[in-house]
Amino acid sequence: MKVDYIISEIGSTTTVVTAFKLKEKEIDIVAQGKNYTTVNEGDVTIGLNKAIEDIEIQLGEKITWDRMLSTSSAAGGLKITVHGLVEDMTVKAAKEAALGAGGNIKLITAGKLRNTDIKRIKEINPNLIIIAGGTDYGERETALYNAELLSKENLNKPFIYCGNITNQYEIKELFQGQELYIVDNVYPRIDELNVEPTRKVIQMAFENNITKASGMNKIKSMVNGSIMPTPGAVMESAKLLYEIMGDVVVFDVGGATTDVHSVTEGSIDILDILVSPEPIAKRTVEGDLGVYVNSENVISLLEPRDLENKSKESIRENIRPIPKTNEEIECSRILTKKAVEVALNRHVGYLKRTYGSSKNFIAYGKDLSKVKYIIGTGGALTRLPKGETILHEIRYSKEDLTMLPRSEARVLLDNNYIMACAGVLSKENKEAAALLLKQSLGIV
């Protein structure tokens, strides 16, 4: 059988491959295959080929395709270190850009780098290093100091400079002969974020360098289209849904991490009391919240009300990468519910009462109160039962001021588990990606 697209999602635990045929006003999902990810065997294409074989077994015939696209969070994903000037300003802006692009941030520094920071960067061995600092035409010295220090280390890594534009000429000189991307400032003026240009370049740098990651060196032998970090692809889908449907928040619960992606400006009431700006599109990644690889972390957070007459030990004994028995499914569902709850509380902002001021409250962080749709993706929410129920329970039903999603927000599931696929597909066929998302969410 000939298909138009094969799109693979190479996760930390599982590789999922989906075959698509394009039609005039819909996309036919031919089949979906899976296998465990084989990055630890030194070659991720082993698992990729076995996932394709799974499709062929389902269809009873061999398949060929025109284009193969891929997303990946295997081999540690896109490991990034971020180095800026002030933690609440340029550092935060660069961090938001990195997370929104699908990065896994391993180190953040503010101010001038120290020798111990350089040592930690070498130990981390990141895929990408971001240098920021200074508003445009403002402070210059810190970013230049950090760039000079890093350029002398010959780290053989791609660098992105997204700081004060008046430094750009010197930055080019410092990194001659090294892989350097210069982008518009992520924090050009006080209280103004400009993260999208940096996000786009991060994804381009990832695609240019993915074959250098351990176990990923053969990926280009199969993939003839775009390769994106999986969380970055999910963010692209969230942004596309924002264009189609309005304000959204997406929960992606996986074996190793739980990601939350929100695309919303928030309410006027919150914007008026917000202490510092937030990006419209925001991602947080909880690297300690996973239902398999990091299940022990989630189990440790469970309270008596979460256990549903089970013990922590019984849950621990029934955690599997792909749960099959009723008991295994129930235990994974309990962890999924807790991961969603904790991840939401870490993603959403908070209100603080003030005294001696004309304002009763001030707000910090991301406002989700105007979200129209709460969407669940990832295996835990879409393949285990009661995913919709878990997401319904996070809505805030009281009338007072809140930054949480309100009770009128509608819950949808990515039933076909294709948000990452649609995100990478949107880079070359936005119309097809939109159709794919609508079909999966049941809103055609």
Please state the domain count of the chain.
Answer: 3
Rounded to an integer, what distance in angstroms lies between the CA atom of residue 360 and that of residue 149? Answer: 46
Residues 181 and 87 in one domain: yes
Check whether residue 125 and residue 262 sit in a common domain: no
Q: Are residues 255 and 308 in the same domain?
A: yes
Q: pTM of the predicted model, to two decimals?
A: 0.90
Does one domain contain both 158 and 305? no
Domain boundary among 157, 182, 212: 212
The stretch 387-406 carries a mean pLDDT of: 94
Cβ atoms < 10 Å from Cβ of 50: 16
Looking at the structure, do residues 146 and 243 belong to the same domain, yes or no?
A: no
Residue 357 has pLDDT above 60, yes or no: no
- Its domain, for residue 31, covers 2-75+214-221
Same domain, residue pair 421 and 280? yes
- Rounded to whole angstroms, the Cα distance separating 97 from 184 reads 12
**385 with 437, same domain?**
yes
pLDDT digits (tens, 9 = 90+) for 363-376: 999 999 999 999 99
CATH of the domain at 28: 3.30.420.40
Around 40, how many Cα atoms within 13 Å sit in the side-chain half-sphere?
A: 6
If asked whether residues 236 and 266 sit together in one domain, one would say yes
- Domain membership flag for residue 226: no
pLDDT value, residue 26: 82
Query: What does the alpha-carbon distance between residue 411 and residue 344 come to, in Å, rounded to a whole number?
Result: 15
Select from 348, 416, 356, 357 the least CA-distant residue to 382: 416
Q: Of 51-60, 215-224, 332-341, which gets the smallest average pLDDT? A: 215-224
- The residue ranking higher by pLDDT, 400 or 3, is 3
Residue 339, C-beta contacts closer than 8 angstroms, at least 6 positions apart: 253, 258, 286, 289, 290, 291, 298, 380
The answer to whether residues 243 and 316 belong to one domain is yes
Is residue 206 located within the same domain as residue 330?
no
Distance CA 149, CA 417 (A): 44
Does the residue 310 lie in any domain?
yes
**Averaged over 175-185, what is the pLDDT?**
96
Is 304 within a domain?
yes
Domain holding 392: CATH number?
Answer: 3.30.420
Whether 265 and 406 share a structural domain: yes
Which among 158, 184, 212 is the end of a domain? 212
- 265 and 310 both lie in a single domain: yes
